[in-house]
Amino acid sequence: MGKQGSRRNNSRLFGTRDNAVRVRTYRYGTLRLRILTVGDAVFIEEALKQDVAAREFVINLIHHQLITPEIPLTEIREWKDKLLIRVATLWTAHKDTINRHYESEKDSFDTIRNAIKSYLTEHNEKMLNMLSSITEPPRLNFDIPELKLIDSAFIAQISIYAEQNQNTINSLIQSLDTFGLAKYQLNEISNAWLQNINPIEDIAASITGILPTIQSQLGEIAAIAKLADTTIVTIDWSRFHDRLAIPLETSETLKSILLNFSESYTSLIDSFEDNQFAILNYPPEFTRLPTIEYFTSADLLESIANEDEILIETEDKQQLRQKLASENEDSLRNQLTSLNAGLIQLWEGAVSALNSNNPDRARHFATSLRELLTHVMHQLSPDDEIKKWNPDPKLYDKHRPTRRARLLFICRNINHGPFSDFVEKDVEAVLAFVQLFQQGTHAIHIPYTEDQLLALKTKMEGVIRFLISVAHQMR
């Protein structure tokens, strides 16, 4: 019997239901293996790049695609060659585009690996050919607001950063094109971009579908950054010193911290200008959350400095503020529970302080949130794990990891310097805000408004959510 005839008979031994390939075996009963998806193609391309022995490649393929029953990789390695080849061959038979790449009349590990490799090579070529026919890629345009430089070295520099942010983001959006995406290999794309894509029959078509997602992501970033930029450049910094009666040294220190924070955000955005598709190496939240942090800082800053002014706010800004508060409420509880259920009590204690009638509620609220942030950072960066990761003495103080060491540890899998720097500057800025609330409330004649406290709540909750997301998504 010819090879194709043999495969037709083999196909009767399995079926595809519920997006799974089912293979009957004597030892394990029915094996359920996930059919080929974009995310699986990423894994397979990476395995092919490692150029392991063909048998080991097949073992890893089966283990990666296996849904049920759960079988350890070590146990699959002990399978006889006949079983390994049979399962892998039947898995590839569910997709004719792979099946037709077999160039040998004999089932073997090399035949299976070569067929899968040939299929992925064909799909990459198909994607390039399909994309090369697109002559007018979609564009997104965002007007850059004209920024009025205020006569202050601090605000002037902030304004320069704001204009640079808008120019860079606008450049990223306008430079996005489908053909450029085709130059990216599957294994360079973070699974977080692919995880919501359903099992597919045409990987090439599915990959091109990522482009609208990227454009939408950058469009949202541009809109949020624009709101932050236009907020921060209108702030009258002198109001901090006059209204809060804080020492001049404190005021200058806070300005320096905020300037460094703004600079770190600009550096992060600039880091993608030369290669806009580099963001695909990281989860979508990698680009969205820093911009949200930038906005919430600007919003909190404005709530303090411009308290006495009647502000005319756009509907977009009001909606974004409400959306972020809702996102924090919806996701933070689950995040804290998954990290340590005991953290929920700290969070609820902070909210309870905010909702109380205690005249000292602002300080209690700020203190509780700071304590929660500290506990979260310690949960995400245990001392022993940090010491194993990096014993550099500069990262320790009295044999305990510094705050910088903890943040670098949380960001360790990102391997992108500007991002780690931004996280560090973001936490430094939010702690400065908390300190400002704690110091300011010692003066009885300076009550913080409800808007200011809610802005601090959104900022603090956002930072906590940001850190947990970074730690979990980059594992």
Highest mean pLDDT among 7-16, 36-45, 129-138, 139-148: 36-45
How does residue 434 score in pLDDT terms, banded at 50, 70 and 90?
confident
Highest mean pLDDT among 198-202, 292-296, 329-333: 292-296
Q: Does 120 score more than 90 pLDDT?
A: no
The top-scoring range by mean pLDDT among 119-128, 369-378, 413-422 is 369-378
Tell me what the mean pLDDT of segment 289-303 comes to: 89
| Mean pLDDT, residues 211-218 taken together | 70
Mean local confidence (pLDDT), 349-364:
85
pLDDT band at 84 (very low <50, low <70, confident <90, very high): very high
For β-strands 14-17 and 20-25, DSSP reports them as antiparallel
Under 8 Å between Cβ of 201 and 192: no
Six-digit token string for 53? 């022995």
Q: What tokens appear for 432 in the block?
A: 């400065």
Proportion of the chain above pLDDT 90, given as a percent: 23
Which residues contact residue 141 at a Cβ distance below 8 angstroms, ignoring those fewer than 6 apart? 170, 173, 174
Q: Are strands 66-68 and 396-397 parallel, antiparallel or unpaired?
A: unpaired
129 vs 323 pLDDT, higher one: 323
Supply the pTM of this predicted model: 0.70
Choose from 9-13, 70-74, 158-162, 186-190 the range with maximum mean pLDDT: 70-74
Out of 68-72, 148-152, 435-439, the most confident range is 68-72
Give residue 189's pLDDT. 65
Is the pLDDT at 62 greater than 90, yes or no? yes
Q: What are the pLDDT digits (tens) for 278-287?
A: 666 777 777 7
Residue 55: per-residue pLDDT: 94
CA distance 288 to 279: 11
Q: What are phi and psi of 98, to 5 degrees?
A: -85, -45
Lookup: tokens for 52: 């392991």
Look at residue 339 and tell me whether its pLDDT is greater than 80. Answer: yes
Pairing of strands 66-68, 29-34: antiparallel
- In the numeric block, which tokens belong to residue 427? 């936490």
What pLDDT digit, counting tens, does each position of 91-107 carry? 887 766 676 777 666 77
Could you tell me the two tokens for 447? 């009550």
Closest CA to 211 of 180, 185, 238: 180
Residue type, 353: A
Residue-averaged pLDDT of the chain:
78
Backbone angles phi and psi of 14, in degrees to 5: -145, 165
Q: Whole-angstrom Cα distance, residue 94 to residue 40? A: 15
Task: Tell me the average pLDDT across 295-300.
Answer: 90
Cα atoms found within 13 Å of the Cα of residue 332, Cβ hemisphere only? 27
Q: 168: exposed, middle or buried (C-beta count within 10 Å: 0-12, 13-18, 19+)?
A: buried
Per-residue confidence at 9, pLDDT binned at 50, 70, 90?
very low
Q: Rounded to an integer, what distance in angstroms lies between the CA atom of residue 25 and that of residue 69?
A: 12
Asked whether residue 305 carries a pLDDT value surpassing 50, the answer given is yes
Residue 72 pLDDT more than 80?
Answer: yes
Count the Cβ atoms, other than its own, within 10 Å of residue 250. Answer: 17
What are 307-320's pLDDT values in tens digits? 655 555 778 888 99
Residue 37 pLDDT: 74
Both structure tokens of 104: 């040998």
pLDDT tens sequence across 381-408: 999 999 999 999 999 998 899 999 999 9
Mean pLDDT of all residues in 66-81: 93
Q: What is the pLDDT of residues 155-207, one digit of tens each?
A: 778 888 888 888 888 777 776 665 455 555 555 666 666 655 544 555 666 66
